[in-house]
Chain A
Amino acid sequence: MTTDNSGDVRLSGISKTYGSFTAVHPLELTVPQGSFFALLGASGCGKTTTLRMIAGLEEPSSGTVHLGDQEVTHLPPYKRPVNTVFQSYALFPHLDIFENVAFGLRRRGIKSVKKQVEEMLELVQLGEQARKKPHQLSGGQQQRVAVARALINTPKVLLLDEPLGALDLKLRRQMQLELKRIQTEVGITFIHVTHDQEEAMTMADTVAVMNAGRVEQLGSPTDLYENPQTTFVANFLGTSNLIEAEVDSKSGEDIVLRAGGGKLVLPESRCGAPTTTGGKVLVGVRPEKISLTHADDAGEIAENRNRITGKIADSSFIGVSTQYVIDSPVCPEFEVYAQNIDRDPRLVPGAEVVLHWNPAHTFGLDAAQDIDAGVAEVEEEAA
Chain B
Amino acid sequence: MATVTEAPPLAPAPETKPPRKRGRWTPYWLLLPGLLWLIVFFALPMIYQASTSVQTGSLEEGYKVTWHFATYWDALSEYWPQFLRSILYAGSATILCLILGYPLAYLIAFRAGRWRNLIMILVIAPFFTSFLIRTLAWKTILADSGPVVSTLNTLHVLDVTNALGWTAGDRVLATPLAVVCGLTYNFLPFMILPLYTSLERIDGRLHEAAGDLYAKPWTTFRKVTFPLSMPGVVSGTLLTFIPAAGDYVNAELLGSTDTRMIGNVIQTQFLRILDYPTAAALSFILMAAILFMVTIYIRRAGTEDLV
Interface residues of A, Cβ cutoff 8 Å to B: 55-57, 76-78, 82-84, 86-88, 90-94, 103-104, 107-108, 133, 135, 149-150, 153
User: Could you list 12 examples of A-B contacts with CB < 8 Å?
Assistant: A56-B211, A77-B208, A78-B211, A86-B205, A86-B209, A90-B203, A90-B206, A92-B210, A94-B228, A94-B305, A104-B213, A107-B213
Q: Chain A's nearest CB lies how many Å from the CB of B132?
A: 42
Q: Chain B's nearest CB lies how many Å from the CB of A336?
A: 27
Q: Chain B's nearest CB lies how many Å from the CB of A294?
A: 23
Q: Is the CB of B213 within 8 A of A135?
A: no
Interface residues of B, Cβ cutoff 8 Å to A: 203, 205-206, 208-216, 219, 223-224, 227-228, 305-307
Q: Is the CB of A149 within 8 A of B208?
A: no
In angstroms, Cα B305 to Cα A150, docked, is: 25
In angstroms, Cα B223 to Cα A86, docked, is: 19
Q: Is the CB of B216 within 8 A of A78?
A: yes
Q: Chain B's nearest CB lies how many Å from the CB of A110?
A: 10
Q: Chain A's nearest CB lies how many Å from the CB of B118?
A: 23
Q: Is the CB of A84 within 8 A of B219?
A: no
Contact of A108 among B211, B214, B223, B228 (CB under 8 A): B214
Q: Looking across the interface, which residue of chain A has its beta carbon closest to that of B207?
A: A90
Contact of A86 among B208, B215, B224 (CB under 8 A): B208
Contact of A78 among B212, B305, B306 (CB under 8 A): B212
Q: Point out the residues of chain A lying under 8 angstroms from B306, CB to CB.
A: 93-94
Q: Point out the residues of chain B lying under 8 angstroms from A57, CB to CB.
A: 208, 211-212
Q: Point out the residues of chain B lying under 8 angstroms from A82, CB to CB.
A: 212
Q: Is the CB of A92 within 8 A of B208?
A: no
In angstroms, Cα B68 to Cα A171, docked, is: 71
Q: Is the CB of B307 within 8 A of A93?
A: yes
Q: Point out the residues of chain A lying under 8 angstroms from B307, CB to CB.
A: 93-94, 133, 135
Q: Is the CB of B213 within 8 A of A153?
A: yes
Q: Chain B's nearest CB lies how many Å from the CB of A80?
A: 8
Q: Is the CB of B214 within 8 A of A84?
A: no
Q: Identify 6 new A-B residue pairs, CB closer than 8 A, beyond the known A78-B212, A83-B212.
A: A56-B211, A56-B212, A84-B209, A92-B224, A93-B206, A107-B214
Q: Looking across the interface, which residue of chain A has its beta carbon closest to that of B214?
A: A107
